[in-house]
Each structure stands twice: as structure tokens, then as C-alpha cells.
């Protein structure tokens, strides 16, 4: 059974890594910086040629051949310097994703019994290593090709006077950061280009409020959430995977919109502020709990062992409406109204499926009652019009600290 769990986990991580990798902002990856620049011992990739990487690299699966939303990793006639520049960034992203897969699998595999996790992780790391080697072999060659192409383009083009790009020019790349946050100072918090950051102050306030209702205000009359449908839904520990992916799902969308789609970030944050605040008020006025958790597990595996630890620190109180469901729907709604995803059916389907899986996982691992999901759906439906607000793009960062007076 351990082998079956390992295969299922590997397949799940492979699928999830594809969509997460597509969401990563490309401007964060620089081939001239650590860890993507060649190390001294690599000798600009020549060390990998000694192990014959150029002979077997074409036999390694290439997902860009079957996934339309991925950039092909092959050079072809007619490529420009910009095409090669994009390809170089994609090698950095691919290397980062495969490395992080090894790190995530290492953390998850620690829940295996005995020391078998070392064996499984070793095999998984060895399977990812060729993909990392190929990126580190190809990238120096692509960089050298880019330098030659840039030199030819400069030689063929007549010198032009330096021009200052217009601050109002809109970037078409949906993965390109809208604002250079390196220029942020607290003194600029009220300026148009950084004022949206004040919305992030809600998270510590919400954390304090939730801590109060969860840990401090405990001497209350709890209403038990239960319905007949709860008894018909079996316990399934495997749903802990989408349940825990909620954190990646929510934080990933927050980071993406914060960097690349400020209007969507505002819609997401205001939706969360309204729904989470109402939820805290409901917890105070109408405290609820549930007694659906199993006292023992029929099976002993990595997922039941994780849930044993998880149940110890996550209480069964303040469950209606479900924060997990509200957060999932917030991300799902945002994907429907985000520049990068609203016109892409595969992306919208992926976000919707993930949102549904996370929502139903709450009842399969007995964290919530069906009533909690229903109330969360009702609350999200009431505040869904927040997602229809058409915010203007963030003001361009002109470097000025004060707006000129008319």
C-alpha cells in the first residue's frame, strides 16, 4: 500500500506543479543570478556533456508537446532574441519547479513508517534530477546564443536616440509585475501605486479576532452542526490532500494578483474582508461545533497519521460557516475575473475543480458538516457582486513622491 500511496502522491504533485509553475511570475527568474547561473564546477554546462546529456535528453518526457499552454522548449528557425530570452526564463522556472517537487515530497514522505521514506524520496529525487540537469545544460548555451543574437541586432540596427518609456504604457504580459515593489517605502503607502497594500493589514487583524473566538472566548453554549447527510458521507483520509492544498491555493492567488493583477487583488481582498468579518461575527453570536470526527481509523497510513496530529491542534469549534469553503470560492471567483485566467477555459476549469475538491474535502475528512458548506455558499453568493467591481489598474510608478498640482 505504501507503494500505491507514493505513486498517487507523485502523480498528484506532477499535475499540481504544472499549474503552479504556469502561475509563477517570470520576471522573478534571472539566469544571471543564484541559483540559476552556472557554478564554477559546471564549466558553463560542459560537465553535463561528459555524462552524455546531449544523447539522452530527447528521450526525457517533454510536457510542452501535449500541453498547449506551455512554451515549446525547442529552438526553431525564425526565433528572435526575445524568444530566446523567454526560453531562458522557462528553463529557470522548470528547474525551480522540479527542485521544489523534491523538497515537498521530502516533507510529505516523512510520515511514512520506519525509514522507507528515505527509499521513496531517493527514487523520486533521482527521477527529477535529469530534468534539472537538462535545464542547467541548456541554459548556458541559450545565454551565449542570446548574446550573439543581440550583438547582430545591434550591428544591423542604426543607432537611435535614447527614449524614456511612457509611464502609462501597459504591459501585455500577464505574468509581468505591474509595480516595482523594490521602490516601496512606508512613506509611499498612501500613494496611488502602493495604497492597495493597506488591504494586507486585514490578515493580522483577522488572526487576532479568530484567536479570540477560538482560544479565549470558549465558555459559551455551543450548537452542534449535524444533518442526516453527514452520516451518509464516508470518512476518506485521502481528501486531506486537497484540504491542505487550500493554503497553496489561497496564498498562490494572493501573491499572483498582488504582483500581476492589482484590480483582481483588490476584488479578492475585499471579498475576503467582507465574508471573513461576517464569519467572525457569526462565530461570536452563534458559536458552533461538530462531533463528526472518527475516534479511531480503520486504516493506518500516511494520511491517517497526519490527521491524528492535525486533529490535535485544529479544534472542532467555530465551524459554521466554513472558512475553508469561503477561501476556496474566493480564489475560484477571482480566477473567473483575472486577466490571465478569465479567457482561458483550461485555467478556469482547473481553478473550479480545485475549489470544489477543497470544499467537499472538508466533509470527507469530517472537519465540517454539510450545513457549514451550505451556509458558506450562501454567504459567498451574497457578497459575489464584490467580484464584479471594475477597479482601475494601479497607478504607474513614476518615481515621484508627490503628485504635481494643477
Q: Which residues fall within 8 angstroms of residue 184, CB to CB, at 6 or more apart?
A: 194, 197
Q: Which pLDDT score is estimated for 169?
A: 44
Give just the sign of the alpha carbon dihedral 4, 23, 107, 130.
positive
Q: Which pLDDT score is estimated for 394?
A: 47
Q: Which pLDDT score is estimated for 234?
A: 92
Q: Render pLDDT for 153-180 as a digit per residue (tens, 0 to 9).
A: 778 776 665 555 444 444 445 555 667 7
Three cell numbers written together for 370? 454539510
Three cell numbers written together for 180? 516595482
Which contacts qualify for 249-258: CB closer than 8 Å, 24 or more apart? 249/327, 249/328, 249/331, 249/354, 249/355, 249/358, 250/327, 250/328, 250/330, 250/331, 252/20, 252/23, 253/331, 253/334, 253/335, 256/23, 256/25, 256/340, 257/334, 257/338
Report d(CA 94, CA 35) in Å as an integer.
13
pLDDT band, very low/low/confident/very high, at 43 (cuts 50, 70, 90): confident
Q: What are the residue ranges spanned by the domains of the chain?
A: 2-153, 181-388
Calculate what percentage of the chain has a pLDDT beyond 90: 21
Query: Checking phi first, is residue 288 left (phi over 0); if not, alpha (psi -120 to 50) or beta?
Result: beta
Q: Which pLDDT score is estimated for 399?
A: 43
Which contacts qualify for 181-189: CB closer than 8 Å, 24 or more apart? 181/259, 183/397, 183/399, 187/401, 188/401
Find residue 223's DSSP bridge partners. 288
Amino acid at each position: 500500500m505504501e507503494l500505491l500511496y507514493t505513486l498517487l502522491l507523485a502523480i498528484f504533485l506532477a499535475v499540481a506543479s504544472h499549474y503552479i509553475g504556469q502561475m509563477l511570475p517570470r520576471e522573478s527568474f534571472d539566469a544571471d543570478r543564484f541559483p540559476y547561473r552556472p557554478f564554477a564546477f559546471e564549466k558553463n554546462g560542459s560537465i553535463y556533456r561528459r555524462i552524455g546529456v546531449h544523447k539522452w535528453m530527447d528521450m526525457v518526457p517533454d510536457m510542452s508537446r501535449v500541453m498547449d499552454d506551455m512554451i515549446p522548449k525547442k529552438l526553431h528557425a525564425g526565433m528572435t532574441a526575445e524568444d530566446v530570452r523567454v526560453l531562458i526564463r522557462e528553463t529557470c522556472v522548470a528547474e525551480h519547479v522540479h527542485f521544489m517537487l523534491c523538497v515537498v515530497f521530502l516533507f510529505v514522505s516523512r510520515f511514512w513508517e520506519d525509514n522507507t521514506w528515505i527509499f521513496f524520496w531517493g527514487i523520486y529525487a533521482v527521477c527529477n534530477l535529469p530534468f534539472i540537469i537538462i535545464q542547467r545544460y541548456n541554459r548556458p548555451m541559450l545565454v551565449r546564443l542570446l548574446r550573439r543574437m543581440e550583438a547582430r541586432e545591434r550591428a544591423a540596427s542604426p543607432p537611435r536616440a535614447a527614449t524614456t518609456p511612457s509611464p502609462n504604457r501597459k504591459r501585455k504580459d500577464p505574468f509581468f509585475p505591474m509595480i516595482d515593489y523594490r521602490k516601496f517605502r512606508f512613506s509611499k503607502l498612501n500613494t496611488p501605486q502602493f495604497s492597495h497594500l493597506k488591504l494586507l493589514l486585514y490578515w493580522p487583524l483577522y488572526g487576532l479576532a479568530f484567536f479570540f473566538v477560538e482560544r479565549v472566548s470558549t465558555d459559551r453554549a455551543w450548537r452542534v452542526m449535524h444533518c442526516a447527510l453527514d452520516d451518509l458521507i464516508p470518512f476518506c483520509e485521502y481528501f486531506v490532500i486537497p484540504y491542505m492544498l487550500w493554503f497553496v491555493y489561497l496564498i498562490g492567488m494572493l501573491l499572483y494578483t498582488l504582483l500581476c493583477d492589482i484590480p483582481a487583488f483588490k476584488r479578492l481582498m475585499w471579498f475576503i474582508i467582507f465574508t471573513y468579518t461576517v464569519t467572525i461575527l457569526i462565530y461570536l453570536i452563534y458559536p458552533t461545533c461538530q462531533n463528526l470526527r472518527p475516534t479511531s481509523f480503520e486504516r493506518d497510513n500516511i494520511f491517517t497519521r497526519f490527521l491524528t496530529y492535525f486533529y490535535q491542534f485544529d479544534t472542532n469549534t467555530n465551524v459554521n460557516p466554513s472558512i475553508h469553503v469561503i477561501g476556496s470560492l474566493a480564489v475560484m471567483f477571482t480566477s473567473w475575473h483575472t486577466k490571465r485566467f478569465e479567457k482561458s477555459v483550461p485555467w478556469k476549469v482547473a481553478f473550479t475543480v480545485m475549489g470544489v475538491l477543497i470544499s467537499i474535502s472538508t466533509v470527507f475528512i469530517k472537519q465540517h458538516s454539510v450545513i457549514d458548506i451550505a451556509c458558506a455558499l450562501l454567504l459567498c453568493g451574497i457578497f459575489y457582486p464584490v467580484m464584479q467591481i471594475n477597479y482601475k489598474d494601479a497607478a504607474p510608478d513614476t518615481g515621484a513622491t508627490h503628485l504635481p498640482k494643477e
